[in-house]
A and B are shown apart, each in its own frame.
Chain A
């Protein structure tokens, strides 16, 4: 790849623009990631601040927050996911068209945060849907959300269009819908989707850091 990029630079000096379909395609995709317009808790205030003039997320191609999951590419889980809300969040994710990405924003979205031991808060949305970028913080500052967004753009940029690492929308076999948990008599059923949340390896949970 190094020689190719050198070749491209040399050709560029001669006024010849060379690219690949892969680069062009991903450049278009990463430059127009439209987030879905919904907020769950106080992190949503920081998310709104990120989109306003001072932080201006529009510079990164995310200028439109779409109020419909059908038109959105990115789900920003901005806040606490209560067990009452979790089925709706998963349902909204399922309603989004591929390619779709998820940023889990803040301590609550990634782990349950200060409410982790509560009876009504999900211990992280990554128990039910695949998350691309996690941001710690309570709440994370707008800069952190921008960093997460740039991290996501780098991830999109690096996705090859063929092979095993290709994005889900180019893989007919890939799973795009995820089971919506049911509100049971005592807890959500199932409490976790093992396919997206294989952690932990059995038995090491208390030994590692205990």
Chain B
């Protein structure tokens, strides 16, 4: 079995125009992954499945990751006129790095299972942002085992998979509107009875009590 770098080279060799990057994992596990551009994803996935030496014929796991937007503050030196004299002032500039949603697929080869090293091969796709560009191509046409797991990602993270044969919610009900696994999800305020509150629950229970006293909630 090949290393991720070799697989990347094989993809670039076979599909010269495809945009695939290596995402290194600095931890001791060194489980590097391939970041595939959504427009090339189906072609890359088909290659990984059909290539005779790779034969990644089994997608064991598909999951989502939410990367919320974060505020980055940077110190910049600017020249300003202070009392008629040009002086260099240090200013803090705050920028919001946009977040994105990510779909992660773990691939194995049943055909080459006996040579097994450097498995699983991990490929990733990222959406444009977390609000209106949340579409990714579905890999269910390539690996049938992705079907329910992509539905689960759609259900809990809100990634819309184009080309999926049956994209519906799978764990939550159809009328549900939130995406519970996103970092900014706030669960319903039913903290009126917490016999042993602590940490986050204690905070929520006290907030509920305050809101109750202020008449903002009825229960």
Contact = CB atoms under 8 A, between A and B. Distances in A.
Chain A partners chain B: yes
A205 B209 contact: yes
Contact of B190 (A185, A191, A203): A191
Contacts of A208: 195
A91 to B, nearest CB: 14
Interface string B190-209: 11111111001110011011
Contacts of A186: 176-178, 188
Interface stretch (A69-77, A115-123, A144-152, A158-166): A115-123
Contacts of B76: none
A183 B206 contact: no
Given A119-B180, A186-B188, A191-B188, A206 B175 contact: no
Contact of B175 (A118, A120, A183): A183
A44 B209 CA distance: 36
B210 to A, nearest CB: 10
B188 A187 contact: yes
A210 B202 contact: yes
Nearest to A84: B173
A21 to B, nearest CB: 41
B212 interface: yes
Nearest to A199: B193
Interface string A10-23: 00000000000000
Contacts of B173: 83-84, 183
Given A187-B188, A200-B193, A117 B201 contact: yes
Contacts of A84: 171-173
B205 A206 contact: yes
Interface in A4-41: none
Nearest to A194: B219
Contact of A206 (B171, B178, B197, B213): B197
A200 B194 CA distance: 9
Nearest to B171: A120
B187 interface: yes
Contacts of B202: 206, 210
B188 A206 contact: no
A208 B196 CA distance: 9
A207 to B, nearest CB: 9
Nearest to A188: B188
Contacts of B195: 205, 208-209
Given A185-B177, A200-B192, A202-B212, A210 B172 contact: no
B219 A191 contact: yes
Interface string A167-206: 0000000000000000111110001101000011011011
Nearest to B174: A183
A118 to B, nearest CB: 8
Given A205-B192, A210-B197, A210-B202, A185 B219 contact: no
Interface string B33-75: 0000000000000000000000000000000000000000000
A123 B194 CA distance: 10
Nearest to A87: B173
Contacts of B201: 117
Contacts of A183: 173, 175-176
A89 to B, nearest CB: 14
A194 B180 CA distance: 27
A177 B15 CA distance: 64
A6 B205 CA distance: 54
Interface of B: 171-173, 175-178, 180, 185, 187-188, 190-197, 200-202, 205-206, 208-209, 212-213, 219
Minimum-distance CB pairs A-B, first 7? A187-B188, A119-B180, A183-B173, A185-B177, A200-B193, A206-B205, A119-B187
Interface of A: 83-84, 117-120, 123, 183-187, 191-192, 194, 199-200, 202-203, 205-206, 208-210
Given A187-B190, A202-B212, A205-B195, 9 more contacts: A84-B172, A119-B180, A123-B190, A183-B176, A191-B188, A191-B190, A192-B219, A206-B197, A209-B195
